[in-house]
């Protein structure tokens, strides 16, 4: 028997003073109500209700049990209300994970506006260049540059596409010159991001042409900001998604190299535990993030 229904039936019987009226209120037949009550008493090994053809009354232990049952049901009702409210009004802690570069450039700048709009939400940002397990780490929202999740229950939503480009500082290019074809990269100092797939092999395309170059980096790192800083100081040619170096290129701090050639592009995705019953705190942050990307036209800027 369903224990929750047993408790509801008992509380409703005490409220209405009748098992049959309680059954009617809960949408069950009288025989079913009798079975539920008998099942509860059998499980507890006590008599909760005395009933005859003329009347029904609770035993002393039955009255005590009803009071406890009412408290349990009230707590459950309040818990339901709180959960439903959280799906309407953003509350609690929003846990986000993204790479350090994405967090610096596109998560942190949104947090002041987000917390102004939703002051009952606190934000925890877990920067990680490797993909944290969403469920094991209680993550509400992850930003990924991969198009799949090992867990099929995870929802993936496309945010934007970005080119991967090569850039170098004006000082580096002044001293070393710029490569005129992919093969000339072998004569240059390369700054490699070690978490890229096959990071020591660069596969270029240009119209119908293809070129694959195996490169050993002068410097390698698992963090894009470390490599970006090295490139700005003139150490070598950087290979990174355009979203990381866009502002530097625009300001002239870094110069695109072999820009007429394309490397495989990256898709930036959002990943979260479930599309169904998405909490208000997650939904509202996704809305703010995607709205900002549309407003600033990032995908067009990053794919040109």
- Sheet harboring 255-257: ordered strands across? 219-221, 190-193, 237-241, 164-168, 255-257
Structure-model confidence comparison of residues 120 and 46, the more confident one: 120
Q: Is the pLDDT of residue 40 over 90?
A: no
| C-alpha to C-alpha distance for 230 and 239, rounded to whole angstroms | 12
Instruction: Please write the tens of the pLDDT for every residue from 191-213.
Output: 999 988 888 999 999 998 999 99
pTM of the model: 0.70
121: left (phi over 0), alpha (psi -120 to 50) or beta: beta
How is residue 78 written in tokens? 């309040």
Structure-model confidence comparison of residues 37 and 258, the more confident one: 258
For the chain, which domains are there?
3-86 (1.10.10.10), 92-161+267-303 (3.40.190.10), 164-264 (3.40.190.290)
| C-alpha to C-alpha distance for 62 and 298, rounded to whole angstroms | 66
């Amino acid at each position: 028997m369903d224990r929750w229904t047993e408790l509801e039936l008992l509380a409703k019987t005490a409220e209405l003073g009748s098992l049959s009226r309680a059954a009617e209120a809960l949408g069950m037949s009288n025989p079913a109500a009798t079975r539920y009550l008998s099942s509860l008493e059998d499980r507890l090994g006590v008599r909760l209700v005395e009933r005859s053809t003329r009347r029904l009354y609770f035993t002393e232990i039955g009255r005590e049990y009803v009071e406890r049952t009412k408290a349990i049901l009230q707590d459950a009702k309040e818990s339901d209300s709180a959960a439903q409210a959280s799906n309407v009004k953003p509350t609690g802690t929003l846990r986000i994970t993204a790479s350090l570069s994405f967090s610096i450039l596109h998560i942190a700048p949104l947090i002041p506006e987000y917390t102004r709009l939703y002051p009952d939400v606190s934000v925890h940002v877990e920067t990680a260049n490797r993909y944290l397990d969403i469920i094991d780490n209680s993550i509400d929202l992850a930003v990924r540059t991969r198009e799949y999740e090992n867990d099929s229950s995870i929802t993936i939503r496309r945010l934007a596409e970005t080119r991967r480009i090569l850039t170098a500082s004006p000082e580096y290019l002044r001293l070393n010159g710029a490569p005129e074809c992919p093969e000339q990269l072998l004569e240059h100092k390369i700054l490699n991001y070690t978490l890229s797939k096959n990071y020591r092999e660069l596969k270029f395309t240009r119209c119908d042409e293809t070129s694959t170059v195996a490169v050993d980096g002068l410097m390698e790192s698992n963090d894009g900001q470390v490599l970006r800083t090295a490139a700005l100081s003139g150490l070598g040619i950087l290979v990174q998604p355009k979203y990381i170096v866009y502002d530097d290129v625009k300001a002239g701090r870094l110069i695109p190299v072999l820009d007429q050639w394309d490397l495989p592009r990256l898709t930036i995705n959002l990943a979260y535990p479930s599309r169904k019953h998405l909490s208000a705190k997650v939904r509202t942050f996704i809305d703010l993030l995607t709205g900002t990307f549309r407003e600033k036209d990032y995908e067009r800027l990053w794919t040109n």
